[in-house]
Amino acid sequence: MQKQLLRLPQVRKIVPYSRSEIYRLISLGQFPRQIRLGARAVAWDADEVQAWVQSRIDPRKAA
C-alpha cells in the first residue's frame, strides 16, 4: 500500500497553524517530522498527521 503524502499547504488545512509554528512543534518533538522528497521539497505522512490530530482530540473527550 502506498503512503499518502501531504505538502505543507495541505497540512495547514488540517492543522490551522502557521508554517513557523509547525516547524517549531517539529523541533520540540511535538509534531510529526517531515519526509524529504528532494533538495527543496518535503511532505508529511497523512496517517501520522491524522494520528497527531486524533491525539489532540482524545484527551478532550476524557475530560
CA–CA gap between residue 8 and residue 59 (Å, rounded): 26
DSSP letter for each residue of the chain: -PPPEE-HHHHHHHS---HHHHHHHHHTT-SPPPEE-SSS-EEEEHHHHHHHHHHHHHHHHH-
CA–CA gap between residue 9 and residue 13 (Å, rounded): 6
Residue located via cell numbers 484527551: 59
Domain covering 5-62: architecture:
Orthogonal Bundle (1.10)
Stated pTM of the model: 0.86
Distance of CA 8 to the CA centre of its chain: 9
**Using one digit for the tens of pLDDT, what is the confidence trace for 9-44?**
999 999 999 999 999 999 999 999 999 999 999 999
Residue spans per domain, the chain = 5-62
